[in-house]
Structure 1
């Protein structure tokens, strides 16, 4: 079977023919990296007291390398943590505990030698099942690593299993029919966001220090915001993403991680960076930003959808924090039509859903319909089928968007916006069985800020700087241009120093 990816599903978006037997949704339903060392004192000064026994992946790798602890001990401890909390958060789709223990016994080589983690269920890890969040692929075994997985295997991580994702990552909430809703460690009646919802939940609950995540329209940053963890979406081309074959018409999806510490994100980025000459390698030492930045700021959604008062208040607080640090914060008004962007992006997204439905049918041997593909996916596929004549114009518009987006940042270093239109919604509000038009409105209102950076190929991150009075995290999104990854890391390190978050724990916590 060909490897299924959201990127691959978009390959044929412009040329897909009429969707065969498309069932309609029921209206009611390079070389080895150098070892990672703990950072210099400037990076740890001011960090909060960690929960007893908790360390980040960088520190864990260093302790394993020194012989203070074995990889097997860390893996067994992580398995125990997973078993302690997964019944409450439902973030693990498949478990590879026996294989993990075997690998850990040999202490894998690499900068993250022996550190336990999870791989998102959209991505192949040899010897583990990949369901793509779909009933059609339940039980499918990956026989080879995906390109990004190869980098993480070389880095020496030990994979404990697959973290949950919505079907093909097509939703901003992780409530797939195949494995059930993933619940937020801060409030288990709330969703985790999507599509890297399982990864963010496992990291937030301190099961593992970091977990693989991917982002095609906000899928790293949205769960990072709703779960109170750090999530950077890399620039297009910085880290491996292609799974073979021709590139998609518009390359929107990237791979990286959900983490607690910024330094883990930096070190994982360095270990996986392509380094093909397009971008400068991330240096061995990244320090908090020294120059003062000009930051464009808005709390208005691009397409005019409503933004919750607590989200606006949280972002206003972050803007004031940045000003107190000496950064210049100025109003930002987008130079593009948010409604036009939304219309073009959703059609392109729908093309991916349509091809995924065809892949699901081929793999399962069943016709496309609600017994193998979720109602939300079917609704998107039907949308594409009705509008496929518009694809050539849509692709042209999206290809030109990077230059438009970057022109709008002239004179600015970064943007500051919310990640989502509100804190995490209740479980069920974004379920794939909600009536399609109702769900569409909820999705575009919630996932109101992230997709432009995917189309522009820009670096963007969610930083966990605020919580509501009810205890729900509200991430702040800082975005730059393509290639601004190091700048965002530097800013994140400064924010982590002045408003640390690692010691803030959710009610559902493995420690």
Structure 2
């Protein structure tokens, strides 16, 4: 473990060192493997040592360092590069405990359909990354275990629900890690830890088993990375594996936009205008950059009615009720008494308002029409990823009284769920550091199939406003 020379409360924790992994991104490591300068075993051993060095981050839910899942193909885009899969996705031979103490899972018998696509990159899986209970929270703080800490400031949240993945990538354990996003769960931790996080369009990849069971599929799969080029290369590889002719092709993205774009700027969510000055400044800084590069940028007002937020909250509560009431069907040892305060609070909320269900589903199903009508005239919309700076641990803990916690979550993540509801793509990129020493993120969002433009805009930001990085001197 390496820490920066700061006060103990804010010292950065990372594992970067002069070993086989160095400070390379996934593409660079895959190239070293292809040239025979590094072996997959050498990289996996270095990543395992790094994970053990920063164990205090509590980012690993299950480790298989001695028996990693080896590449299914040697020519994948990330062949030989070590990674982790989020602990709500099945890999044969590894348990999936979904971040909850209510489950004590046996090793999975099979591998999830999406994970099979993920493994086609040639990556070496070292284990499972931590998440909050069933991915419901925006901070990875289990009620019955250690919270996942932010490598930039261990007293702060690493976000959620892909918080373990984000902590592992930001701290240098691996250059990329799997995540999934049902309400911001890739983008929230990416923003919290200074990473790139793309939520693809609905239909862009094979659905997970869970997504196929949902009445409205709000879940997208993807990765968290330290560079836009890793995200772009992964996205292109997944598109080649699972082309969807109903969506515009993405192809290879290697640089900024090649034409002037129309970009809207939005600083208000359903929870209200953004009050955090650091967040507002990060958006304005990126908007000015776009204008300086010849893109047309204009502020817009929130076009979405309160009913969409209300419907999403009800749907979220419905999912918690289903999980808590059917857990025994999936695991006979399921213990509902061990569910956390957020899950049970959502369950109670659902049953108090169960009559809302048909109307909520109708509102959510129709939301894309409003979105496309209001935002379809723009190539992209620039919004904050989060409503305020990443909070201290405890602010979003499941032990906070439910009504207070729900209000805090609304204010924190008000900008992310809309793209899950509408099935539209969104990418979070780093946009500087807040006074607390933690990263800030902004999002580019678009209509369905707009990933290519969003990745190009992310390339522009990365080139002109270099991302903050945790690293060690001399690497």
TM-score by length of 2: 0.91
Candidates 262, 281, 284, aligned match of 1:294: 262
Map 1:363-378 → 2, pairs under 5 A = 363=330, 365=332, 369=336, 371-378=337-344
Which stretches in structure 2 are left out of the alignment for 5+ residues?
1-15
Question: Conserved in 1, the CA contact under 8 Å of 2:60 and 2:127?
Answer: yes
* 3-state SS of 1:135 partner: coil
2:389 is the alignment partner of 1:423: yes
Distance 2:86 2:354 in 1: 30
Aligned residue in 1 for 2:63: 95
Greater shift in the superposed pair: 283-292 or 452-461:
283-292
Candidates 300, 308, 317, aligned match of 1:350: 317
Distance 2:349 2:106 in 1: 28
2:37 is the alignment partner of 1:68: yes
Question: Higher relative CO (CA 8 A, sep ≥ 6), structure 1 or 2?
Answer: 1
Distance 1:482 1:451 in 2: 15
Distance 2:194 2:256 in 1: 21
Aligned residue in 1 for 2:303: 335
Aligned residue in 2 for 1:111: 77
Question: Conserved in 1, the CA contact under 8 Å of 2:130 and 2:140?
Answer: yes
1:489-510 Cα distance to aligned partner (Å, 9 max, x none): 1111121111222x62179x99
Shift of 1:109: 4.8
Which stretches in structure 1 are left out of the alignment for 5+ residues?
1-49
Distance 1:182 1:414 in 2: 33
Aligned residue in 2 for 1:250: 216
Aligned residue in 2 for 1:21: none
Shift of 1:110: 2.4
Distance 2:73 2:382 in 1: 41
1:320-371 Cα distance to aligned partner (Å, 9 max, x none): 122222222101112221x3221110001111111111233445547874x3
Candidates 201, 207, 227, aligned match of 2:167: 201
Aligned residue in 2 for 1:133: 99
Aligned residue in 2 for 1:359: 326
* RMSD of aligned alpha carbons: 2.3
1:114-165 Cα distance to aligned partner (Å, 9 max, x none): 1100001111111111110111223432111111110122221111111110
Shift of 1:222: 0.6
2:182 is the alignment partner of 1:216: yes
1:66-93 Cα distance to aligned partner (Å, 9 max, x none): 1111111111111111111122x11111
1:424-447 Cα distance to aligned partner (Å, 9 max, x none): 111111111111111111111111
1:389-445 Cα distance to aligned partner (Å, 9 max, x none): 211111111100001111111421111111111111111111111111111111111
